[in-house]
Structure 1
Amino acid sequence: MEMMVFLAALLPVLFGCDCILDVDKPVDCSDVYKAGQTVSGIYSIYPAGDIPVWVYCQMISDGKEEDKGAWTVIQRRMDGSVNFYRPWDQYKRGFGNVEGEYWLGLENMYQLTRNNKYMLRVDLEDFEGRKGFALYSSFSVDCEADGYKLQVSEFTDGGAGDSLSGHNGFKFSTFDKDQDAYEKNCAKHYLGAFWYLACHNTNPNGVYLWGEDDTHHAIGVVWATWKNYAVSMKSISIMGVIFSPYIHTIGVCLHAVFVPKCPETEFGTVVVVVGVLVFV
């Protein structure tokens, strides 16, 4: 503990930055939970510093081990009330109604996952009331300069199968910013926006359809390994929880050390934690 205090005190000298941790500004729902808020609901978090972002926190303290945690919901569909066929800028910033359907924003996802290892959980429900989920023990989103590339791995099946691992390593695409591996535009073709390859195994941001509809192939809220490309989900919730809380608890000081965008080394992203360089 004395060494940690020494390092924290040394930071302004080494890097010239004001590294005062603000415990009143939770970075994600894990911090909200630590502050004593144990009821699921809408809370403000600060993934990028001083700007608050409203988010739904799913608090689970009992049940199976893979269910437990303070989950930050990054995407949710439930009734088709929000149009998800939107341009790049809105997917970058986020949109929707946090009380219902919304997208947290790619930049917020990057800020959340840049310094910590996150788990990702996808909860699904069909129109017959059947439920399933998919769990990934490693999840992050790269910076905008790298196309907000998806990094996801270490799948555990909760009955829904694995429709996401095939999208690992791909950049995010919208109808006005095509970064997929398809000769055409996947977002235009499937009326959504996602980390498309060529094109998809899942389309969470597709058209909200009412169950099975094969009129237009695979444009719905599809999770192909659970149902098929003709069956659209009644609800889908994508949420993340911090997997390695140690670094997150100590705190980070980045702004005085790195230039904007995505600082990378051949080993990975450089993170400064109370004066210590850590390669993740």
Structure 2
Amino acid sequence: MGPEMTPELGTMMVYWSPALLLPLLVQSLPINEQDLPIDCEDVFRNGSIHNGIYTIYPVGQEVPMEVYCDMGCTDNDNHQGHWTVIMRRLDGTVNFDRPYSHYEEGFGDKNGEFWLGLQNMHLLTYRTKYMLRVDMEDFEEGKVYALYAIFFVESESDGYRLRVMDFKNGGAGDSLGFHNGQRFSTFDRDQDSWLWGGHCNKDHRYGGFWFNGGRWGCMHANTNGRYQWKNGRSIDGSGLIWQKWTPNSLKAISMKVKRLSLDELTS
């Protein structure tokens, strides 16, 4: 409907079509940040039930983050899904022997092998309580996992220090607890706790990790070592390591996080 002249008033009254007003209304409406998914749990609740790459907003719309979501598609009711994957090793196609800046920013292919990035891990886990699950597989098709009810990564100013507690065994044993409280180290950034001048990564080229160091060694776990394409003991410790389960280098390993439910927070 266009403008219409009213003889009684001698003025023009303008009627606007709703179709013309709609774009203006849409542009003026603020984005409700409560509707933005902060992790894969929200992505699932919003109706996306398949594994894949999605965009989440753990700290608001100004900082989008692309992640791989493990929705538990192999379960009929998805009850074990909704995990946000933060790293994955499968086949050695991605080089994990990288400098600190790469580990800070993230690298790899989220449909394959990747590292989400220390900064992203911090942004994802420092506001809300998360659990961590580490899934692993050996070359004989054995599969186990380790679950930690508390997991978060400190800020860059604290060396992206690892906080992991309250272990629950899924057959793998607790290898990551040895690294609790350690800062992240790479060959060009020594932040391990070796007190006698040693450098876990530079001396052994393990790949970046939360190395410990000193009397009890550098690691009981390392998800980021050099990939080995066969079953066998890692003589120099440079493979994918989870010592509490096997002395051999692993075929595959992944780390994924999920927000704690209200029941889990109060239990």
TM-score norm. by structure 1 comes to 0.75
> Cα 1:177–1:86, aligned 2, differ >3 Å: closer, same or farther?
same
Among candidates 221, 243, 249, match of residue 240 of structure 2: 221
Shift in Å, 1:20: 6.5
> Cα 1:113–1:245, aligned 2, differ >3 Å: closer, same or farther?
farther
Amino acid at match of 2:36: K
Matched, 1:128 2:140: yes
Q: Distance in 2 between matches of 1:197 and 1:28?
A: 30
Partner residue of 1:241?
Answer: 258
The residue matched to 2:133 in structure 1 has which SS? strand
Moved more, 157-166 or 186-195: 186-195
The residue matched to 2:111 in structure 1 has which SS? coil
Amino acid at match of 1:201: H
Matched, 1:186 2:200: yes
Partner residue of 1:195?
Answer: 210
Matched, 1:144 2:161: no
The residue matched to 1:174 in structure 2 has which SS? coil
- Structure 1 regions of 5+ residues with no counterpart? 1-18, 247-280
Identity of aligned residues (%): 49
The residue matched to 1:33 in structure 2 has which SS? helix
Q: Distance in 1 between matches of 2:73 and 2:109?
A: 26
Shift in Å, 1:60: 2.7
The residue matched to 2:241 in structure 1 has which SS? coil
> Cα 1:233–1:36, aligned 2, differ >3 Å: closer, same or farther?
same
Shift in Å, 1:61: 7.8
The residue matched to 2:95 in structure 1 has which SS? coil
Partner residue of 2:57?
Answer: 46
Q: Distance in 2 between matches of 1:132 and 1:145?
A: 34
Shift in Å, 1:34: 1.5
Which whole-Å deviations, capped at 9, do the CAs of 1:72-100 have from their partners, x for residues lacking one? 00000000000001111111110000010
- Structure 2 regions of 5+ residues with no counterpart? 1-29
The residue matched to 2:120 in structure 1 has which SS? helix
Partner residue of 1:28?
Answer: 39
Which whole-Å deviations, capped at 9, do the CAs of 1:128-165 have from their partners, x for residues lacking one? 11100000000000001111000001111111111000
2:132/2:147 contact within 8 Å kept: yes
> Cα 1:69–1:243, aligned 2, differ >3 Å: closer, same or farther?
farther
TM-score norm. by structure 2 comes to 0.78
Partner residue of 1:271?
Answer: none
1:190/1:218 contact within 8 Å kept: no
Amino acid at match of 2:91: D
Q: Distance in 2 between matches of 1:171 and 1:244?
A: 28
Q: Distance in 2 between matches of 1:103 and 1:129?
A: 24
2:192/2:210 contact within 8 Å kept: yes
**Which of the two has higher C-alpha Rg?**
2
Matched, 1:111 2:123: yes
Q: Distance in 2 between matches of 1:116 and 1:55?
A: 17
Partner residue of 1:74?
Answer: 86
Moved more, 49-58 or 28-37: 49-58
Matched, 1:59 2:71: yes
Q: Distance in 2 between matches of 1:215 and 1:196?
A: 17
Amino acid at match of 1:114: Y
1:118/1:244 contact within 8 Å kept: no
The residue matched to 2:222 in structure 1 has which SS? coil
2:179/2:210 contact within 8 Å kept: yes
> Cα 1:93–1:76, aligned 2, differ >3 Å: closer, same or farther?
same
Shift in Å, 1:218: 0.8
How many pairs are equivalent?
Answer: 226
Matched, 1:157 2:161: no
Among candidates 37, 56, 64, match of residue 48 of structure 2: 37
